[in-house]
């Protein structure tokens, strides 16, 4: 299993515009709609479950990283969207720092433990400070995808 099995170039937003959590999450959801990973009519529903998850506790895990994730019946398979921000997003991260890398994961409501494996793999990859730096500084979706693909072996 590779992260690139769940994310593609079209679902990557290089250069998030917003510096606020809700709007940044919406930008990533818009990319997932554009990539046809979720349907446009499910946008409000997806944003609702992601924001509800964030109210339970920020998925900003520190070191400039957030991994928002939620179960939803709006997807049939695990879906990953990505966004990066040079200026940073106020995400209420555990360390109080701005977030520069956001991996959003949506999983089917009936998903088994596979999503935990995907989440763990993303977390493992993000432990590498050079990998984080490349992702945070990537200017294009293609560069982000290439970087993920090169590390995710």
**HEC states along 70-89?**
EEECCCCCCEEEEEEEEEEE
> What is the reported pLDDT for 111?
78
The residues spanned by each domain of the chain are 3-147
Dump pLDDT digits (tens) for 65-108.
Answer: 999 999 999 999 999 999 999 999 999 998 999 999 999 999 99
Percentage of the chain beyond pLDDT 70 is 100
Average pLDDT, the chain: 93
Q: Which CATH class is domain 3-147?
A: alpha beta
Question: How much is the pTM?
Answer: 0.93
> What is the reported pLDDT for 152?
83
Q: 23 near 37, Cβ under 8 Å?
A: no
């Amino acid at each position: 299993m590779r992260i690139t099995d769940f994310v593609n170039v079209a679902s990557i937003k290089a250069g998030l515009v917003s510096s606020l959590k809700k709007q940044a999450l919406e930008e990533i959801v818009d990319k997932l709609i554009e990539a046809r990973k979720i349907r446009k009519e499910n946008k409000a529903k997806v944003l609702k479950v992601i924001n509800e998850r964030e109210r339970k506790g920020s998925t900003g895990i520190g070191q400039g990283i957030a991994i928002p994730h939620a179960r939803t019946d709006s997807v049939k398979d695990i879906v990953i969207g990505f966004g990066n921000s040079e200026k940073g997003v106020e995400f209420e991260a555990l360390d109080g720092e701005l977030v520069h890398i956001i991996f959003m994961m949506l999983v089917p409501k009936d998903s088994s433990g596979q999503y935990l494996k995907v989440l763990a793999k993303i977390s493992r990859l993000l432990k590498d400070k050079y990998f984080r730096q490349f992702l945070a500084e990537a200017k294009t979706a293609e560069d982000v995808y290439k970087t993920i693909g090169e590390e995710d072996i």
